[in-house]
Amino acid sequence: MKIEIWSDVACPWCYIGKRRFEAALAEFPHRDSVEVQWRSYQLDPGLPEHYDGTELEYLSTRKGLAPAQVSQMFEHVAEQAKGEGLNYRFDDVVVANSFTAHRLIHLAAAHGRQDAAKERLLSDHFEHGKDIGSREYLTSLGQDLGIDAGELDELFTTDKYAEDVRLDFEEGRALGISGVPFFVIDRKYGLSGAQPPAMFSQALTQAWHEKQPLVMAGAGTGAPGSKSSDGGAEACGPDGCTV
């Protein structure tokens, strides 16, 4: 079973949603058969590489929200994050464009380190005041993930993985995704937002059962009156009827 998660590094609910999804997945009996893929999404593609101001100033000026409203929102989100064991520090958040960070996630995926990259970027952005648009920071993160220095240098001197990130954006739009986090299960079920773990558990269970083949009742029992060892009774098919 494959789960694709559209998410932005600069989205506070995406980190909360990640934790809640992980809690549900940890309790899922078939978790070892689940593939998770992080897909790129940007809440504000037009954001400058670096924004000269605080997160509160950014949301107030660019989104047209009153500072008091933004502060109230920060308090609510931070409280929700705390419930998931996360320590959000909005006063220390460095506002920066996340496009290159998404490219790094794609590079990390090529090394089997996609989830580790996503986790570090979210934590460093919301809990540790790191600059997710900084080449120095992203290079250091890549090295921590075990990625070769040459590949990291290529990330900043070429447009490698830029098209992959844009394709994620396009696929998200094609699926009707207009907000994140957004979870897609086997391209059949979609869950929007940082749902409670119980909702993720319900979706995982439903999707798993629907994709499994039917199990024949009484299979292999050789029940009295059956015409075959799989427990099947008289029936008709393309080659005729049993007698």
Higher pLDDT, 234 or 116: 116
Tens digit of each residue's pLDDT (9 = 90 or more) over 132-184: 999 999 999 999 999 999 999 999 999 999 999 999 999 999 999 999 999 99
Which pLDDT band, with edges at 50, 70 and 90, does 212 fall under? confident
DSSP 185: E
pTM: 0.88
| Confidence (pLDDT) at 103 | 98
Q: Cβ of 156: how many Cβ atoms within 10 Å?
A: 13
Q: Which residues contact 171 (CB under 8 A, 6 or more apart)?
A: 39
Q: Tell me: pLDDT of 127 over 60.
A: yes
Q: Give the three-class secondary structure for 189.
A: strand
- In angstroms, the CA 168 to CA 160 distance is 14
Cα separations (Å) of 71 from 5, 95, 128, 130, 235? 28, 16, 19, 21, 69
Which pLDDT band, with edges at 50, 70 and 90, does 238 fall under? low
Q: Cβ of 149: how many Cβ atoms within 10 Å?
A: 10
- Helix, strand, coil percent content, the chain, rounded in steps of 5: 50, 10, 40
Q: What is the mean pLDDT of residues 52-77?
A: 93
Encoded tokens for 131 = 């600059």
Q: Which amino acid is at 148?
A: D
- In angstroms, the CA 177 to CA 72 distance is 26
Encoded tokens for 26 = 């940890």
| Confidence (pLDDT) at 234 | 73
Token look-up 């098919």 returns 237
| Phi and psi, residue 110, nearest 5° | -65, -15
| Mean pLDDT for the chain overall | 91
Q: Tell me: pLDDT of 240 over 70.
A: no
Helices (H), the chain: 12-27, 55-62, 67-82, 99-110, 114-127, 135-144, 149-157, 162-174, 197-211
